[in-house]
Every structure is written in C-alpha cells, then in structure tokens.
Amino acid sequence: MDDYPLLNLFWTMLWFFIWIMWLFLLFKVITDIFRSHDMNGWAKAGWLILALILPFLGVLLYVIFRGKSMGQRDMDAAQEREAAFRSYVRDAAGQPEGSASGSHVAELARLAELKDNGSLTPEEFDKAKAKLLT
C-alpha cells in the first residue's frame, strides 16, 4: 500500500463514482427511448444504436437534444403514479357510498368534531358512539 498514495485512492473513487453515475444515466436514457411516445420506431432504433455503439457521445447527445422532454415524461409519469396511489388509498380506506360502515365512519367523524368544538360533552359523545356502534 505504500506505493498507492491516498490522493490516488480518492481519484480512483471519484472516477468509479462518475462511471456508476454514467451507467445510471445510460439506463435512464435507454428506458426513456422506449417510453417516448412522440418518436417513431426508426427514431427509437437510431437513438438506441447511437447510445449502444457510441455510448458516451450517444447519451450526451440524447440528453442535449431530448433532455427537456425526458424530464417532462418523468414528471408526467410521477403525477400518474401519484394519482393512481391516491385513488387506491381512497378506494381502500373508504367504503362505497351508501354502505353502512361508510356512513358510520362519517357519523363518528361528525360526532368527534362536535365533541372537539364543545357542542357535545364527553359523556354524550360516548353514549352516541355506543349507540352508533351497536
């Protein structure tokens, strides 16, 4: 280890980190090529060949020419995932309208709100809750 100074170790780690980041970017570009709906098959094939044959130049050119639309596609996909997640949570947490347990939840929430603002005493809240749950 005496012939490999600490500064060389840092340089090696830096280059390794840059190489790993470039690999991530390469995979991101390749997935974006296939995900892009505004390109036809020949354009996708051309970008893919360029990214695979001349990887550094191909990735750099793709990011330069299509980076903005690549970011927009990422934002659109994230918004779609967020909307799907919110829809799933609403469907999983709530009952279909008109069901008995859905109305019980709404009634309990209304009773808790009345208790919180002082319209109901804790005893009245407990009685109403017990009546509702039986």
The answer to whether residue 4 is domain-embedded is yes
73/19 Cα distance (integer angstroms): 25
The answer to whether residue 104 is domain-embedded is no
The answer to whether residue 11 is domain-embedded is yes
The answer to whether residue 48 is domain-embedded is yes
Please give the tally of structural domains in the chain.
1
pLDDT of residue 4: 75
The answer to whether residue 41 is domain-embedded is yes
Residue ranges of the chain whose pLDDT lies below 70: 1-2, 94-102
The answer to whether residue 54 is domain-embedded is yes
CA dihedral 117, 123, 127, 129 (to 10 degrees): 40
The answer to whether residue 35 is domain-embedded is yes
The answer to whether residue 86 is domain-embedded is no
pLDDT, tens digit (0-9, with 9 covering 90-100), for 2-24: 677 878 889 999 999 999 999 99
105/75 Cα distance (integer angstroms): 35
| Rg, C-alpha atoms of the chain | 29
Q: Provide the residue range defining the domain that includes 40.
A: 1-68
pLDDT of residue 98: 47
